[in-house]
């Protein structure tokens, strides 16, 4: 049931996002589009409540509950960033706004950009680990039922660690711009 709900939440995220942007740029109803886009966080609340109810009703903690926590963490950390990125592209394509600048490709600006993305992954991992820890407390931290939840905490930490190493490589070994290349002027944050 939880996996199905995660899929429904993901599909609903994109449907709401497309509807919100269509209302904003095709129908020119900015306030209505904001209302539609503000429904996005409700999807995560529904998933969180459904997961808690599933555990309360006696479901054995499993990978589905861990995946739900990681999904919520990722959406908390990257949801607004994704919406803002797509809004910039929709404004360019549908409303004649200037093309959004691309992230920097070289040197310290690229390292800073990657560092900011890693901070988002750190937030995602922290949210996921926090939710998983609450679930561990709920099912009993000394019980075998907490095992799968603790394993998902390790998955979240490992993911943050791998992304951190990748971001660090941009700082330690910055890619140099080819001769005559112009560096981008904006770093997404």
Task: Look at residues 117, 105, 102, 128 and name the one whose alpha carbon lies nearest to residue 168.
Answer: 117
What is the model's pLDDT at position 142? Answer: 84
Q: Which pLDDT band, with edges at 50, 70 and 90, does 181 fall under?
A: low
The pLDDT value recorded for residue 180 is 74
Q: Extract the tokens encoding 64.
A: 């589905």
pLDDT at 34 (0 to 100)? 94
Element of type H or E holding 129: helix 107-139
Between 142 and 186, residue with greater pLDDT: 142
- pLDDT 10s digits, 141-176: 888 888 999 999 999 999 999 999 999 999 999 989
CA distance 177 to 183: 8
pLDDT of residue 58: 87
**Could you count the other beta carbons within 10 Å of the beta carbon of residue 51?**
26
pLDDT for residue 187: 45
pLDDT the model gives residue 182: 61
pLDDT digits (tens, 9 = 90+) for 58-94: 889 999 999 999 999 999 999 999 999 999 999 999 9
In whole angstroms, give the CA distance from residue 182 to residue 178.
9
DSSP state of 40: H
- Which string of b and e fits 165-178 if b means at least 16 CB within 10 Å? eebeebeeeeeeee
């Amino acid at each position: 049931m939880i996996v199905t709900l995660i899929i429904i939440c993901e599909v609903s995220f994109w449907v709401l996002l497309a509807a919100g942007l269509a209302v904003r740029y095709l129908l020119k109803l900015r306030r209505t589009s904001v209302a539609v886009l503000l429904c996005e966080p409700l999807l995560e609340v529904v998933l969180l409540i459904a997961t808690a109810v599933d555990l309360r009703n006696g479901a054995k903690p499993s990978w589905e509950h861990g995946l739900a926590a990681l999904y919520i963490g990722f959406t908390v950390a990257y949801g607004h960033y994704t919406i803002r990125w797509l809004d910039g592209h929709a404004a360019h394509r549908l409303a004649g706004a200037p093309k959004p600048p691309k992230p920097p490709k070289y040197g310290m600006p690229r390292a800073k950009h990657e560092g900011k993305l890693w901070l988002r992954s750190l937030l995602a991992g922290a949210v996921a680990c926090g939710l998983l820890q609450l679930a561990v407390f709920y099912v009993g931290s000394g019980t075998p039922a907490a095992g799968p939840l603790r394993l998902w905490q390790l998955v979240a930490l490992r993911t943050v660690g791998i992304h951190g190493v990748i971001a660090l490589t941009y700082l330690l070994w910055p890619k140099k711009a080819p001769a005559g290349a112009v560096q981008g002027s904006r770093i997404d944050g």
